[in-house]
Amino acid sequence: MRVNPSDPTPAYIQIADDLRRAIERDELRDGAPLPSLRQMEEEYGASAGTVRQALDQLRSEGIIMTRQGQGTYVRKPRRLRREGTSRHLRSQRQPGTAPLEAEAQDQNFQRGQDLLEVTTGPAPADIAHRLRLPPESSVVIRRHLLTLDGEPAQTADSYFPAEIVRGTPIAQSEKIPGGVHAELARILGVTLSHATEDLIARMPTPTEARTLRLPPGTPIVDLTRTIYAQDHNPVEVTRFIFDGSRHLFTYRVPMD
């Protein structure tokens, strides 16, 4: 494609649009190198400065990334479909299999989970409110980093009322066979009832971008989930930070 000088659209936008279409059509796949600057100058009939502007535009959108000394590459990772409506139903997965683990297996992802920290401290104000606790009540916090195909994909910070889980495996720096929710139900002596999720999309903080290795222009999804016991009392709040380029959120909404 040659830049059309009679088109009122700036030349760098024409080039960016053409490259974006090629990425969307999978003509340029995730990890594929873009042509050299010289090749793009010749193909589009544009100056080096104009081509660089086009690449800067795509880089700001998070769909290409530059590796120092290696060139510029497409960034279009596969998205994991997160089934928000049914993922916690025990009938939908094998016993002892966590929801993310089941989703990853079904979609041919390699899922990893690193337990970063288990600590006890005062609940942040929003967490205390969701757990219906007095301000700064003591909570046990379990922090995880989760990966897909070896790449950081999400963080998860889970908060539990300390008076419920103190002295249990949930308060220990160890992985829990069968999963934390099975252990929580065992501690409470009841099954867990339901969960609510609130999510927003936003740009990451510098710390979040470093942790998830996000290139410029990549948004995150900030999701807070509250889990309730059968008596409708909240027993866990987890705040997830998702790499927005690696996830697709699906919900089934009843119409009657």
Same domain, 30 and 145: no
- Residue of 12, 4, 66 whose CA lies nearest to 40: 12
CATH code at position 108: 3.40.1410.10
- Give the global pTM: 0.86
Digit-coded pLDDT (tens) for 233-250: 999 999 999 999 999 999
Asked if the structure places residue 255 within a domain, the reply is no
Cβ–Cβ < 8 Å for 131, 159: yes
Digit-coded pLDDT (tens) for 104-149: 999 999 999 999 999 999 999 999 999 999 999 999 999 999 999 9
Cβ–Cβ < 8 Å for 15, 40: yes
**Which of 74, 89, 104 corresponds to the end of one domain?**
74
Same domain, 132 and 57: no
Same domain, 107 and 228: yes
Asked if the structure places residue 6 within a domain, the reply is no
What three-state secondary structure class fits 179? Answer: coil
**Which of 74, 89, 107 corresponds to the end of one domain?**
74
Same domain, 50 and 163: no
Which residue range is the domain that position 28 belongs to?
Answer: 11-74
Same domain, 54 and 109: no
Digit-coded pLDDT (tens) for 45-101: 999 999 999 999 999 998 999 887 788 999 989 999 998 888 877 666 676 678 888
Asked if the structure places residue 5 within a domain, the reply is no
CB proximity list for 121: less than 8 A, separation 6 or greater: 138, 139, 141
Both tokens assigned to 145? 């980093």
Asked if the structure places residue 2 within a domain, the reply is no
Same domain, 207 and 120: yes
Residue 218 has phi, psi (to 5 degrees) of -95, 120
Question: Any idea which residue has 């829990």 for tokens?
Answer: 176
Q: How many domains does the chain have?
A: 2
